[in-house]
Amino acid sequence: MARHPIRFTPFHLAGGLFLLAGLVLAVYHGLEQFNLVPRLGWVSWSHIHFVTIGGFTQLLFGMLPQLTARKLERPLPSKYYDWLNFIGLNGGFLLLWYGRGWGHTWAFDGGLIAIWLLVAGLLVVMLRMVMQSDRAWNATTGLYLVSVFVFLWGITYAYGLFAHVWQVPGGWLGLREAHVHANAWGFLGLAAIGTLYDLFPRLLGTDLYSERLRNYSAWFFVAGIFPLVTGPWIGMGRTVTATGLVLFATGFALYLYNLVQTYRSTDSRSGIALSVLVAQFWMLGPAGFAPFVLFGVEWVDPAYIEDGALHFFFVGWALPIALAGLLLYFRNLPALREGHLDADLIPGGNIPSVISTWMVWVWNIAILVVGVGFFYQDQSWSAYLFGPGYTALVILWLYELVQAFRLRWTLQTDPETTTDRGLH
């Protein structure tokens, strides 16, 4: 069966808009720290979840079914399915946000249940593709399925964090840690890693360095993520969680080595490829600092370590990947007019030159500066780190979003630019 071209879904546009909204809220939250604007209780939770549930989840909901269908040479889900998921996900998120921000349990529960059911439906759709396909099993498809399955755990844990506090051996903090591990490392992490294994070589016009390392790393990821999402809430951080951390970190080391060797194997260079590659190293931040928390080595307040680790993961690792995806693909999404609803999403080798090497350096130095600020946020001099660090990040964040929209709306329709080059 011939593979269908990836089509436009409203998730793609919504993902970009949520990232823009997350930027605005992040700026406001930063100004709150300096008492320059009134403090709003809902901003702290919102600026993180507008980027995660709002931005990243929108993009993954729009892409995972289509990427899975292409890998397995199955028909794409219907457009009615896309719209049902889009309305349900955003309606659920609106209820979730309203309930969490203003303390309405009924709204939070309703939104959470709606999102859980939609994610379960997504998993069923992807499993049906796997069972109906004649294509051989591969690491990317496996990581997609595990990521969605683990996301269900993360959503379930969220129910016990707000208004329905569960009494578990690991306590509320252990449940929250499991929730973060499931949503961040499990859902976002595994889905992004599976996709980058396919797409990163294409940015460089080459093949992946080692398929064997790819398969090995996938098994380590799968073996590691389940202890990571159970150990914290059962109160076995130094045994179960630590075991999961070692397994997951081993898989990530193999994955990172594979990408670095792929990058070194070609003379082709692009700012987007470099940005994505450097971002991978920030995943090591949370993994590197976790032992300090697990084994009680308090060189700084554990809460500050957690703040810094989340910063390295979401802003250092995940955000550059999401922005790179928008820069690469948003320009190829079809206009909402007749005759242009099913253009292929794949860049076809035409990589936009909108990120310079110096921008990658500035972005990552700013990530480091802000991260250090989080570790020492109780010191007065941390303001001198947050100020310039956040300024650089906000400027570059906004620049890349503007470039993504500029590339889309100034693109001259050319059939050759949307030819299917294959996603293997």
pLDDT tens across the length of the chain (424 residues)? 445 556 667 887 788 788 788 878 878 877 776 777 888 878 877 877 787 777 878 878 888 888 888 888 888 888 888 899 999 999 998 898 889 888 899 999 999 999 999 999 999 999 999 888 877 678 899 999 999 999 999 999 999 988 788 889 989 888 988 998 999 899 989 999 998 998 899 888 889 999 999 999 999 999 999 999 999 999 887 889 989 999 999 999 999 999 999 999 988 778 889 999 999 999 877 767 666 666 666 667 777 887 888 888 888 998 898 888 878 776 655 443 333 434 444 444 566 678 888 999 999 999 999 989 888 888 888 888 988 998 899 899 889 888 877 776 665 444 444 333 333 3
- CA–CA separation, 372 and 68 (whole Å): 39
The neighbour count for residue 83, using CB atoms within 10 Å, is: 12
Number of H helices, E strands in the chain: 16, 0
For the stretch 195-236, pLDDT in tens is: 899 889 988 888 999 999 999 999 999 999 999 999 999 988
- CA–CA separation, 346 and 66 (whole Å): 12
The first and second tokens of residue 408, run together, are 């889309």
For the stretch 380-417, pLDDT in tens is: 888 889 889 988 998 998 898 888 777 766 654 444 44
CB half-sphere exposure, 198, CA atoms < 13 A? 20
| Cβ proximity of 224 and 245 under 8 Å | yes
- CA–CA separation, 187 and 143 (whole Å): 9
Among residues 119, 132, 243, 273, the alpha carbon closest in space to that of 191 is found at 119
**pTM as predicted:** 0.84
- CA–CA separation, 86 and 16 (whole Å): 14
- DSSP run (H or E) holding 157: helix 139-159
- CA–CA separation, 46 and 268 (whole Å): 39
Q: Residue 53 has what pLDDT?
A: 74
Q: Residue 395 has what pLDDT?
A: 92
> What is the SS3 string spanning 237-304?
HHHHHHHHHHHHHHHHHHHHHHHHHHHHCCCCCCHHHHHHHHHHHHHHHHHHHHHHHHCCCCCCCHHH
Among residues 319, 330, 325, the alpha carbon closest in space to that of 282 is found at 319
Q: Residue 339 has what pLDDT?
A: 38
- CA–CA separation, 329 and 13 (whole Å): 11
Alpha-carbon Rg for the chain in angstroms: 21
Q: Residue 422 has what pLDDT?
A: 39
